[in-house]
A and B are shown apart, each in its own frame.
Chain A
Amino acid sequence: DAKTTQPTSMDCAEGRAANLPCNHSTISGNEYVYWYRQIHSQGPQYIIHGLKNNETNEMASLIITEDRKSSTLILPHATLRDTAVYYCIVRVAGGETSYDKVIFGPGTSLSVIP
């Protein structure tokens, strides 16, 4: 799986949009970008994933650059409950069990400030 790099930490004012960047310059054509987050003392939680088109769900939006070498997770209206560590992961999504190995990096610690 391709390696990702993320900023160690970020701050965001409550109510504003939080934009979390991720660099994955060595991503392969068949690798998806996944985002998870981990709120303190809880297990990681899936947020969103995408291949090359932008994606949106009830939690967030995912913007992937045209060359797919980077992406941005957007929390449109950050709340205090969004304070967490956010992990960006790239992996192949297919039927082969050998592709199930997901590697979590250190992630970005997002602090939402009142």
Chain B
Amino acid sequence: DQQVKQNSPSLSVQEGRISILNCDYTNSMFDYFLWYKKYPAEGPTFLISISSIKDKNEDGRFTVFLNKSAKHLSLHIVPSQPGDSAVYFCAASALNTDKLIFGTGTRLQVFP
């Protein structure tokens, strides 16, 4: 049962443009959402998060949007840089379960 879905396995964006990574979830009990970034042969590193009481959180070039009614969140990176090329994992948690549920990741490639 895949509760967190990232339906696009890959995304290619030109440097300087906006990258939009999408994530859908099925469990309405999720109340916190996180994005992790992963380079090859390294572990995931935390990028940005959002609570379910908000619909937007911004940190520099990274903004996460949450649409609870659609059970959808997205990560916007603008402007995209070659160093942003990595796999991005969406993750969600519910207060009463104390564990993170990860999506399968989207590989972002930013080309010059």
Q: A and B bound?
A: no
Chain A residues near B (Cβ < 8 Å): none
Which B residues have a C-beta under 8 Å from some C-beta of A?
none
